[in-house]
Chains A and B, each alone.
Chain A
Amino acid sequence: MQGPEVLLSLNSRGLLAFEHLRLHKDTQAQPDGAEVKESVDGDQQQDEGEKGEDGESDKEEVGLWEETFKSHTDTKPNGPTSISLDFSLPGVEHVYGIPEHADDLKLKTTDGGDPYRLYNLDVFQYELYNPMALYGSIPVMLAHNTQRTMGIFWLNAAETWVDISSNTTGKTVFGKMLDFVQGSSENPQTDVRWISESGIIDVFIMLGPKPSDVFSQYASLTGTQSFPPLASLGYHQCRWNYNDQEDVKSVDQGFDQHDIPYDFIWLDIEHADGKRYFTWDPHKFPQPKEMLQGLMDKKRKMVAIVDPHIRVDSGYKIHNEITSKDFYVKNKDGRNYEGWCWPGNSGYPDFTKPEMRAWWASMFAYDQYEGSMENLFTWNDMNEPSVFNGPEVTMHKDALHGKWEHRDIHNIYGLYVQMATAEGQTRRSGGVERPFVLTRAFFAGSQRYGAVWTGDNAAEWDHLKISIPMCLSLGLVGVSFCGADVGGFFKNPSTELLVRWYQTGAYQPFFRAHAHLDTTRREPWLFGPENTALIREVIRQRYALLPYWYQLLYQAHKTGMPVMRPLWVDYPKDTATFTIDDEFLIGRDLLVHPVTEEGSRGVTAYLPGAGEVWYDVHTFQKHNGAQNLYIPVTLSSIPVFQRGGSIIPRKDRVRRSSTCMENDPYTLYVALSPKKFAEGELYIDDGHSFNYDTKKEFIHRSLTFANNALTSNNLCPNCNFLTSSWIEKVLILGASKPSKVLLKMDGKETPVDFEFDTSMSVLTLRKPGMNAGADWTLLLQ
């Protein structure tokens, strides 16, 4: 409640339900009173869900004590355990979140269809615009209207279903207006119902009221995005598989030959000896350190896959140790659970055990993980967990993690895998270096351990499109470091699709190209010089913007603000933004409308903000806010706009990897608002260690343009970090021509050369030259 206004009401539809735990009637009829939880208002409603059942009835329903799916039988020794609760959101028409689904950003009502399902599954060639479960689950929903943003966090790791209904569904805009004019009828309302297969009802309500409040409220519960190494924001080149060391070397050289920057090359499952993770195929990768050293010499890095299924093989150290320490998940009979995965018969370490995770982490030590070096990082795939011969390609629900059934913890298994892996990477450096771990499965809180990608997509235009709402949904519930396989994993992309995908992926947080084993090679230079040039150009744009990306990740780490955002997050009162998911914001200041249509000749981008202006980042052309702008496009166009009122630091000297750019100077892009104002930030640290945190070794500055003066102020006076980077250039968009420009620094004033482009009103300050960490003011007179 806020004043007389009801914000949210629980159980208003009376769908609060839970199963009384009881013993199987074969053994005892009377449930143990101590375990029974009483219904809040005493009158438990008849459950309409398929798992529901009237507790008082003696009538046995099929499936209460045993369920069969295809050839699999779930023994359900505890019988039915499901829980449910409904939430009513008066005044709300837009709800978001509950990833992972390949669906629009704005959640749809599920009346007459399947509810949104949250159950981590390895889905082969997933379908789009569908509430089916995918690889990860974050049971967090955001509700938004022009007045308020709220969140519901249903903390439950069992299989969960979410039903959404709305009293405005099907009503036309006209109908809604009519309601409004007549003052009659009902207030719009969205009703949501959560159902989980087991566990307790444990719900957090984030009350907002601003979107940023919801993000920080949720972050206070599950943590914020881990602050990744700077290099991991660069471009990643992946393929199932780079065949051998020679292949890795030639791909690496290919990037140099074609002058395309990249930071990470990835190895998929074929790199390991018989899919025994932590090992190397002796024929294909006989000298992993030599290979890693070769990459290190070019200041580049590698990621090798480590999946959580462990080959059952008495000649395999990892398997033997897990067996001897009794760390495997058990089946219902208490023997080690075994299933089929890439290596064949495999065991699944019980990552819910802290001792198991500690041991797993220790396996990443340089002396344990043979052939590893400090520039080798990790990728956890198949951690739903994927079990090829299990029900729905995952683990049997009656498998056991200690006392807990797999059904109770299923959705959090993948989180623990990534947690243990990231911990291992941190530990191998004695806690000095930041880890980088990519995961496919995730749960609420996974943001603390690394990056997430949207799994095995396909080389189709619709998959390119869906990558936007999929990552936007993840960003809203804490996971900022998100990306989709550039090019599409399955099938071969057309050249146009590949180029467009690079242009889209370069403006999404995690930027990795990946391809299936059966596809033809698609390194960026294999499609003719024109297309190589297009791809080179967009990767360079990515690298130039790395300072901005890095600063946004820092902000996400500190505050929980998503990096890649729907427009409504920054324009919460503009209803026109509420359903937009074909364009997005990067931070507050960049608006991207990727071209995701084949043969497109133009796109219509919505530029938000009445009274605001946006500048095309390529041409510096100024456009007014709160308009739908038609932009003609060619294959080289990537519609990106900088918000008037913002300052974005870039490193325009693009080199072959992000690490090579460490000491390079900055160019400040100052985009003035109509009131001739702009602000921004600059964050600098060593790019890879925890020293920013443990030793306050970073530079954090505010940049403000007001009253014809651009000033850099220290946001962290007690921080200490020295950079050799300096300010080589300042571009002021929307400026007028000054008569002179002075740099005020250390009590001295020195004139600065400048140029003014009248046609676009761009003022360029030539080589002011101050250190990026210094206090200074540039005066336009």
Chain B
Amino acid sequence: MTCVHLLLTLVFAVSLGTPVEIQGPRGVPLTSIQFYVENKPFTCLDGSRTIPFDRVNDDYCDCKDGSDEPGTAACPNGSFHCTNAGYRTMFIPSSRINDGICDCCDTTDEYNSGAKCENTCKELGRKEREVLQKMTEITKEGFLLKQHLIEEAKKGHQEKQIKVTDMQENKKQLDEKVEVLRTVKETAEQPEKEAKERHLKAWEEQKAAIRLEKDKAKMAEAFLELDDNADGFVSVSELQSHAELDADADGTLTETEAQGLMGGAEQVDMSTFESVWPNIKDKYHSEVSREEEPAPVETPPDEVKEPVVDNDSEPYPEDDISEEEDEDDEDEDDYHEDDDKVYHTENLSKNIEKELSFDFGPDAEFTYLYSQCYELTTGEYIYRLCPFNRVSQKPKYGGSETNLGTWGSWSGPENNKYLLMKYEHGTGCWQGPNRSTTVKLTCGKETVVTSTSEPSRCEYLMEFTTPAVCQEPANTDLSPHDHVEL
């Protein structure tokens, strides 16, 4: 279709082109030529008035729409048509006619200004075709690459889905294993317990269950402590040694009171102690001196930290833990190892879930950019774009990194929002706004940051090429028309 169409235009232009140019008034495009008929009164194209033909292009503006002066600068709102044979035709404001500046490559706009213009249309046409051809090639190859990217993204997506499911399964198993190990661990010393408690805190969903476990361990411990004679029973007298359990707060735990706590029994064994434990656990003081509850582990706030690794989740506070673990035993190692695994798995699955939540384009073609970073070094700075994460700038010759914005949203025009990325809420500017960056995406074979600028203070603009935005090339081949110069 297109070929036929082009060919028709070609025939039309070739057959009519040259003679029409001479007959029509200066500056009139082919499409309007029929309105300008030699020696016949001319009606302004807006129909506002009719004037004798000799007032067309007589360097005086008669029509409000400027249509009587297509070839002079007389009308403020006129436009001049340059044919630009060999290149693209174009309209210029008529104020550019004879202003001493060459605007049309065919020099037709400067016919009376003394400006020395050279016809550059052939050269421009050639260059444009080269560029177009190159662009077509790039688009073609880029589009192929894009297909791969889409394929990979699909695969990756499925794998990740499976992984997430796997991991969720895996996590369940691990959780169970952790619980088993935990029970063993509960008997261990107090500092470890504290470390454990911290873990529990982080491990929100398991909290309740673990608390129960802990309680059980405490109970066991208490039982062992209370069973002074190690006969396997806690007796009333043994309980009486714990004055803090005194119910009427008179300072002494009477035999009756103790017996009351034990549900009327003289002595209880381990299993019966379970029913006694709820009565006393709130008041019960272990004989082993108890340290202060450890403060919750502080994780540094998000804003301060600028992780180089693209990982938004909080790191596992290993350092803090190892400090407290002076005496490791095997169980403990196992426990931590598995607990680590839980965390790790959890993070991983969270990350993957997060990743899956991003809008990677209609065909997920932008997926490959995730967790990648691209750098551009300019005169003064190294700019770094980590798509879907952040943009930063670092002085070339030392100095700290500045956050130019974290991932905000796709913000291209309505018809294709995937042409612009917006990164927002970067480091604040002195007396100014928070830094932000707009990333402009263009089709390219390679994925590179091609330029950066700061058009407004603290508002950065980054140009970025990627195959992911390459559109399917129109199925035209320019080469057969190369020789055509209209």
Residues of A within 8 A of B (CB): 243-244, 246-247, 259, 283-284, 297-299, 517-521, 540, 652-656, 659-661, 663-664, 728-729, 766-767
Please, which residue of chain A has its CB at the minimum distance from the CB of B114?
Answer: A663
**Interface residue from B60, B95, B99 paired with A767 (Cβ < 8 Å):** B60
CB of B15, distance to nearest CB on chain A (Å): 35
Residues of B within 8 A of A653 (CB): 73-74, 76, 95
Determine the distance from Cα of A660 to Cα of B432 in the docked complex, in whole angstroms: 39
Contact A243-B453, Cβ < 8 Å, known A518-B429, A518-B431, A653-B74: yes
Residues of A within 8 A of B294 (CB): none
Residues of A within 8 A of B59 (CB): 728, 767
Residues of A within 8 A of B429 (CB): 518
Is B399 interfacial (CB 8 A cutoff)? no
Instruction: List 20 contacting pairs A-B, 8 Å CB cutoff, sorted by A.
Output: A244-B453, A246-B453, A283-B380, A299-B99, A517-B457, A518-B429, A518-B457, A653-B73, A653-B76, A654-B76, A654-B95, A656-B96, A656-B99, A661-B99, A728-B59, A728-B60, A729-B60, A766-B60, A767-B58, A767-B59
Q: What 4 additional pairs, Cβ within 8 angstroms, besides A244-B453, A660-B95?
A: A518-B432, A520-B459, A766-B60, A767-B60
- Cβ–Cβ contact A655 & B99, under 8 A: yes
Is B353 interfacial (CB 8 A cutoff)? no
Residues of B within 8 A of A283 (CB): 378-380
Please, which residue of chain A has its CB at the minimum distance from the CB of B431?
Answer: A518
CB of B99, distance to nearest CB on chain A (Å): 4
Please, which residue of chain A has its CB at the minimum distance from the CB of B378?
Answer: A283
Interface centre among B74, B99, B100, B454, by most chain A C-beta atoms within 10 angstroms, is B99
Interface residues of B in 53-97 (CB under 8 A from A): 58-60, 73-74, 76, 93, 95-96
Provide the main secondary structure of the chain B interface.
Answer: loop
Residues of B within 8 A of A519 (CB): 456-457
Q: Bits for B429-461, please: 1 = Cβ < 8 Å to A, else 0.
A: 111100000000000000000000111111100
- Cβ–Cβ contact A652 & B76, under 8 A: yes
Q: Which A-B residue pairs are the 8 nearest by beta carbons?
A: A283-B379, A660-B99, A767-B60, A518-B432, A521-B456, A520-B456, A655-B95, A518-B457
- Cβ–Cβ contact B101 & A297, under 8 A: yes
Determine the distance from Cα of A299 to Cα of B73 in the docked complex, in whole angstroms: 17
CB of A259, distance to nearest CB on chain B (Å): 5
CB of A41, distance to nearest CB on chain B (Å): 56
Determine the distance from Cα of A177 to Cα of B430 in the docked complex, in whole angstroms: 57
Interface centre among B113, B378, B456, B459, by most chain A C-beta atoms within 10 angstroms, is B456
- Cβ–Cβ contact B456 & A259, under 8 A: no
CB of A764, distance to nearest CB on chain B (Å): 11
Interface centre among B432, B457, B459, by most chain A C-beta atoms within 10 angstroms, is B457
Determine the distance from Cα of A468 to Cα of B101 in the docked complex, in whole angstroms: 37
CB of A490, distance to nearest CB on chain B (Å): 10
Interface centre among B59, B95, B429, B453, by most chain A C-beta atoms within 10 angstroms, is B95
Determine the distance from Cα of A299 to Cα of B456 in the docked complex, in whole angstroms: 27
Determine the distance from Cα of A62 to Cα of B429 in the docked complex, in whole angstroms: 45
Please, which residue of chain B has its CB at the minimum distance from the CB of A729?
Answer: B60
Please, which residue of chain B has its CB at the minimum distance from the CB of A660?
Answer: B99
Determine the distance from Cα of A284 to Cα of B380 in the docked complex, in whole angstroms: 10
- Cβ–Cβ contact B101 & A660, under 8 A: yes
CB of B55, distance to nearest CB on chain A (Å): 9
- Cβ–Cβ contact A247 & B455, under 8 A: yes
Determine the distance from Cα of A663 to Cα of B380 in the docked complex, in whole angstroms: 47
Residues of A within 8 A of B453 (CB): 243-244, 246-247
Please, which residue of chain B has its CB at the minimum distance from the CB of A726?
Answer: B59
Please, which residue of chain B has its CB at the minimum distance from the CB of A661?
Answer: B99
CB of B156, distance to nearest CB on chain A (Å): 38
Please, which residue of chain A has its CB at the minimum distance from the CB of B75?
Answer: A653
CB of B413, distance to nearest CB on chain A (Å): 15
- Cβ–Cβ contact B60 & A664, under 8 A: no
Provide the main secondary structure of the chain A interface.
Answer: loop
Please, which residue of chain A has its CB at the minimum distance from the CB of B101?
Answer: A298
Interface centre among A244, A259, A655, A659, by most chain B C-beta atoms within 10 angstroms, is A655
Please, which residue of chain B has its CB at the minimum distance from the CB of A755?
Answer: B62
Determine the distance from Cα of A247 to Cα of B59 in the docked complex, in whole angstroms: 37
Residues of A within 8 A of B454 (CB): 243
Please, which residue of chain A has its CB at the minimum distance from the CB of B73?
Answer: A653
Determine the distance from Cα of A129 to Cα of B120 in the docked complex, in whole angstroms: 59
Residues of B within 8 A of A244 (CB): 453
CB of A161, distance to nearest CB on chain B (Å): 33
Determine the distance from Cα of A410 to Cα of B165 in the docked complex, in whole angstroms: 80
Interface residues of B in 447-480 (CB under 8 A from A): 453-459
Residues of A within 8 A of B457 (CB): 517-520
Please, which residue of chain B has its CB at the minimum distance from the CB of A283?
Answer: B379
Residues of A within 8 A of B378 (CB): 283
Residues of B within 8 A of A655 (CB): 73, 95-96, 99
Determine the distance from Cα of A246 to Cα of B451 in the docked complex, in whole angstroms: 11
Please, which residue of chain B has its CB at the minimum distance from the CB of A662?
Answer: B100
Determine the distance from Cα of A656 to Cα of B101 in the docked complex, in whole angstroms: 10
Please, which residue of chain B has its CB at the minimum distance from the CB of A540?
Answer: B76
Residues of B within 8 A of A299 (CB): 99-101
Determine the distance from Cα of A517 to Cα of B430 in the docked complex, in whole angstroms: 11
CB of A738, distance to nearest CB on chain B (Å): 19
CB of B361, distance to nearest CB on chain A (Å): 29
Residues of A within 8 A of B96 (CB): 655-656
Please, which residue of chain A has its CB at the minimum distance from the CB of B77?
Answer: A259
Contact A660-B76, Cβ < 8 Å, known A246-B453, A518-B457: no
Please, which residue of chain A has its CB at the minimum distance from the CB of B379?
Answer: A283
Determine the distance from Cα of A767 to Cα of B170 in the docked complex, in whole angstroms: 91
Determine the distance from Cα of A398 to Cα of B436 in the docked complex, in whole angstroms: 48
Residues of A within 8 A of B101 (CB): 297-299, 656, 660
Please, which residue of chain A has its CB at the minimum distance from the CB of B455?
Answer: A521
Residues of A within 8 A of B455 (CB): 243, 247, 521
- Cβ–Cβ contact A259 & B99, under 8 A: no
CB of A262, distance to nearest CB on chain B (Å): 13
Determine the distance from Cα of A766 to Cα of B49 in the docked complex, in whole angstroms: 15
Determine the distance from Cα of A664 to Cα of B58 in the docked complex, in whole angstroms: 14
Determine the distance from Cα of A517 to Cα of B95 in the docked complex, in whole angstroms: 34
Determine the distance from Cα of A520 to Cα of B436 in the docked complex, in whole angstroms: 12
CB of A725, distance to nearest CB on chain B (Å): 13
- Cβ–Cβ contact A259 & B93, under 8 A: yes
CB of A504, distance to nearest CB on chain B (Å): 23
- Cβ–Cβ contact A660 & B60, under 8 A: no
CB of A409, distance to nearest CB on chain B (Å): 34
Residues of A within 8 A of B113 (CB): 663
Residues of B within 8 A of A660 (CB): 95, 99-101
Determine the distance from Cα of A364 to Cα of B113 in the docked complex, in whole angstroms: 32
Residues of B within 8 A of A652 (CB): 76
Determine the distance from Cα of A259 to Cα of B78 in the docked complex, in whole angstroms: 12
Determine the distance from Cα of A659 to Cα of B93 in the docked complex, in whole angstroms: 17
- Cβ–Cβ contact A728 & B456, under 8 A: no
Determine the distance from Cα of A767 to Cα of B58 in the docked complex, in whole angstroms: 10
Residues of B within 8 A of A518 (CB): 429-432, 457-458
Contact A664-B73, Cβ < 8 Å, known A518-B429, A518-B431, A728-B60: yes
Please, which residue of chain A has its CB at the minimum distance from the CB of B432?
Answer: A518
CB of B79, distance to nearest CB on chain A (Å): 10
Determine the distance from Cα of A517 to Cα of B429 in the docked complex, in whole angstroms: 11
Determine the distance from Cα of A153 to Cα of B226 in the docked complex, in whole angstroms: 106
Please, which residue of chain B has its CB at the minimum distance from the CB of A261?
Answer: B95
Determine the distance from Cα of A523 to Cα of B184 in the docked complex, in whole angstroms: 72
Determine the distance from Cα of A656 to Cα of B97 in the docked complex, in whole angstroms: 11
Residues of A within 8 A of B99 (CB): 299, 655-656, 660-661
Residues of B within 8 A of A520 (CB): 456-457, 459
Determine the distance from Cα of A246 to Cα of B455 in the docked complex, in whole angstroms: 11
Determine the distance from Cα of A297 to Cα of B103 in the docked complex, in whole angstroms: 11
Residues of A within 8 A of B431 (CB): 518
Determine the distance from Cα of A114 to Cα of B87 in the docked complex, in whole angstroms: 70
Please, which residue of chain A has its CB at the minimum distance from the CB of B93?
Answer: A259
Please, which residue of chain B has its CB at the minimum distance from the CB of A653?
Answer: B73
CB of A703, distance to nearest CB on chain B (Å): 20
Determine the distance from Cα of A542 to Cα of B310 in the docked complex, in whole angstroms: 55
Determine the distance from Cα of A124 to Cα of B458 in the docked complex, in whole angstroms: 22
Determine the distance from Cα of A655 to Cα of B92 in the docked complex, in whole angstroms: 12
